[in-house]
Amino acid sequence: MTSAQTKLNQSIQAGLFDAAEPAPVLLQVVDLTFDEKVKAAVEAIKQQVREGRRLVVAWSGGKDSSVTLNLAFTALRDLIAEGHSVPALHVIHSNTGLENPVIEIYNKGQIRAIKAYAKTAGIETRVWVASPNLSNDYLVGLLSGRTIMSVGNNTKCQQMMKKSALDRIKRQVRAWIAEKDGVKAKDANLVSLIGTRFEESAQRAARMKARGESSTEAVDAMEDGQLVLSPIAEWDAFDIFTYIGHVRSEKIEAYSDFEELVDIYRDANGGDCMVNQYISGREQNRPPCSARTVIVETKMYGQTV
């Protein structure tokens, strides 16, 4: 029986003057395979370029942002192969100057790898590193008495040394793109690619949903006119692990072999594989900055320090 016949029967059964109510339709949710998720993420990024937007990737050096960056490279590489002209790729990174030395060395090595790969692939790439101004340096503020120490959930150190520096570098990127396109900075057509995922935590998922983040559509997540795309928003941790594994086994082309990335997480997890840590619910983030404050009460010349 066709859908039209079904609706007709429902109308007859409802009576001449009664409103017919169609039978409920059950939608079957189909989970995408890993390969389908990768393809969808790459296609979403390619669509942004087709619509004339410049790509800006927020890259921290962690697993999620590294996968996001490589997806952007894949999308641009595919577009070039299809005969399209692609714009410059902008990579934004933060260096507070207080990073764990191992992490700082790793990030610098990855930046070199990004630039080398971009040159080989024929993709114009600019890496922008945000660092705090001396006048807004957290430690300078502490020593000068202009600010107090961040403890507990206080994020003043992050606001001073990371967020304000990133906001400044974002304005510089927007101005650079605007100048190249011959438009005003506020009219620069760009989209930021971020590696946030709903599965990371309930709090993260709630914030992402509140901002309206999407893996397929660019949205004004912060309501400030700046578009954001979250291509791996629907991925789970195993999708990330699988992607990294495919890169390491050379099944997926990448700007890095991700060997050092895996080592960083292994060291942060006490020498255990990050997959095992995740399964056991003991997964740890990368090491914090080397200036993570620990307050210890001690006596010096009769005074508490």
- Kindly state the tokens that stand for 261: 């990335």
Running DSSP on this structure, what letter comes out for residue 152? Answer: T
Residue 22 within any structural domain of the chain: no
Residue 290 within any structural domain of the chain: no
The C-alpha atoms of residue 61 and residue 158 are separated, in whole angstroms, by: 17
Q: In the prediction, which pLDDT does 303 show?
A: 39
Q: In the prediction, which pLDDT does 299 show?
A: 36
The C-alpha atoms of residue 261 and residue 70 are separated, in whole angstroms, by: 13
Residue 288 within any structural domain of the chain: no
Residue 97 within any structural domain of the chain: yes
Vertex 173, ends 170 and 178: CA angle to 5°? 125
Q: In the prediction, which pLDDT does 106 show?
A: 96
Phi, psi of 28, deg, nearest 5: -95, 120
Strand partners, 229: 193
In three-state secondary structure terms, 210 is helix
Q: In the prediction, which pLDDT does 292 show?
A: 44
Sequence-distant (≥ 6) Cβ neighbours of residue 288 within 8 angstroms: 100
In three-state secondary structure terms, 130 is strand
Q: Is the dihedral of CA 97, 103, 106, 107 positive or negative?
A: negative
Residue 17 within any structural domain of the chain: no
Domain count, the chain: 1
The C-alpha atoms of residue 48 and residue 216 are separated, in whole angstroms, by: 9
The residue segments making up the domain with residue 154 are 36-279
CATH code for position 122: 3.40.50.620
Sequence-distant (≥ 6) Cβ neighbours of residue 1 within 8 angstroms: none
Compute the CA torsion angle 13, 17, 18, 21 (nearest 10 deg): 70
Q: In the prediction, which pLDDT does 275 show?
A: 75
Q: In the prediction, which pLDDT does 92 show?
A: 97
The C-alpha atoms of residue 289 and residue 213 are separated, in whole angstroms, by: 28
The C-alpha atoms of residue 49 and residue 76 are separated, in whole angstroms, by: 8
Q: Which residues of the chain have pLDDT under 50?
A: 4, 7-8, 11-12, 14-18, 20, 290-305
Q: How many Cβ atoms sit within 10 Å of the Cβ of residue 83?
A: 6
pLDDT digits (tens, 9 = 90+) for 26-83: 555 568 999 999 999 999 999 999 999 999 999 999 999 999 999 999 999 999 999 9
Residue 115 within any structural domain of the chain: yes
Q: In the prediction, which pLDDT does 142 show?
A: 60
Residue 8 within any structural domain of the chain: no
- Kindly state the tokens that stand for 269: 């997890």
Residue 24 within any structural domain of the chain: no
Q: In the prediction, which pLDDT does 96 show?
A: 84
